[in-house]
Copies of this chain bind each other. A is one copy, B any other.
């Protein structure tokens, strides 16, 4: 039996980004994670697509959370993508805005981001 697979996106709430900016940053993470999983974890990618490519967006207090999430994901072999904004508007150049994780099992991802609230 295969459990639920999802992607999770953790967005910094301390930057006070606008709706469109957040959407573009999360979409960037989603495309990068999808392409990477196609190459490296094809079974998970295919099953995630078959299940309807579920996505969850949560908010985190700041950069320390992004760093913690990235380290945990790396140690668990979960695909991730940290997104850095070009900084033409709203942020300083090179500002880390969010991290995307997966696709991977909900159980595994929830051990990393389950404590955060939905954005």
A binding-site residues for B, Cβ under 8 Å: 7, 9, 11, 18-32, 34-35, 52-53, 55-59, 86, 118-119
Is there contact, CB below 8 Å, between A22 and B19? Answer: yes
Q: How far is the CB of A73 from chain B (nearest CB, A)?
A: 18
Complex: how many Å from CA A51 to CA B3?
36
Complex: how many Å from CA A23 to CA B7?
12
Complex: how many Å from CA A113 to CA B27?
19
Is there contact, CB below 8 Å, between B119 and A57? Answer: no
Is there contact, CB below 8 Å, between A23 and B53? Answer: no
Is there contact, CB below 8 Å, between B34 and A55? Answer: no
Chain B CB within 10 Å, residue with most, of A28, A31, A34, A55: A31
